């Protein structure tokens, strides 16, 4: 089983360049826990070497879209400020009828389109208090376990 990890990029970066070292632990821990489940994964952050190897917008879009096509389930964290890239990926996942687990910040409002995606495909919503946290990682992993 392959999971597509749709997560914001720029809000984890300093000067919109590379993912800040202090924030990378979140992704490393999440990836490690996904691997422990025996799952393959796709994470654009890793593909672009945490911002050190940006690809063109066209290339990134094509590669990410193909990864979405080959994925079985999507874990989406739209973030705050809300990530336009994650919203695109949610649109793809919805149109492809993927299973989607969406993790939303309790303190923020989201587009009705995000909240209404459950009318088009299998979507489950979960809420968190803090994005970069071990609690969110545990919630993602616990809920992925229920889907495999």
**3-state SS track over the chain:** CEEEEECCCHHHEECCCEECHHHHHHHHHHHHHHHHCCCEEECHHHHCHHHCCCCCHHHHHHHHHHHHHCCCEEEECCCCCCCHHHHHHHHHHHHCCCEEEEEEECCCCCCHHHHCHHHCCCEEEEEECCCCCHHHHHHHHHHHHHHC
pLDDT in the model for residue 55: 80
Q: What tens-digit pLDDT sequence spans the chain (148 residues)? A: 999 999 987 666 566 555 555 677 898 999 999 999 999 999 998 887 766 677 888 998 999 999 999 999 999 999 877 888 999 999 999 999 999 999 999 999 898 999 899 999 999 999 999 988 999 999 999 999 999 8
pLDDT in the model for residue 18: 53
pLDDT in the model for residue 116: 92
- Among candidates 139, 132, 143, 64, which has minimal Cα distance to 99? 143
pLDDT in the model for residue 8: 82
pLDDT in the model for residue 142: 98
Q: Which CATH class is domain 2-147?
A: alpha beta
pLDDT in the model for residue 47: 83
């Amino acid at each position: 089983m392959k999971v597509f990890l749709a997560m914001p990029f720029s809000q984890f970066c300093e000067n919109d360049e590379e993912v800040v070292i202090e924030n990378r632990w979140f992704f490393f821990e999440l990836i490690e826990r996904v691997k422990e489940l025996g799952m393959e994964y796709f994470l654009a952050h890793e593909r672009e070497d945490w911002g050190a190897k940006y690809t063109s917008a066209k290339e990134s879009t094509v590669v990410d879209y193909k990864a979405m096509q080959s994925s079985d389930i999507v874990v989406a964290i739209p973030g705050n400020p809300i990530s336009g890239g994650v919203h695109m990926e949610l649109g793809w996942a919805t149109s492809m009828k993927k299973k989607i687990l969406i993790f939303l910040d309790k303190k923020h409002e989201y587009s009705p389109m995000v909240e209404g995606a459950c009318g088009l495909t299998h979507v489950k919503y979960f809420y968190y208090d803090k994005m970069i946290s071990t609690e969110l990682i545990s919630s993602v992993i616990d809920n992925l376990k229920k889907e495999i």
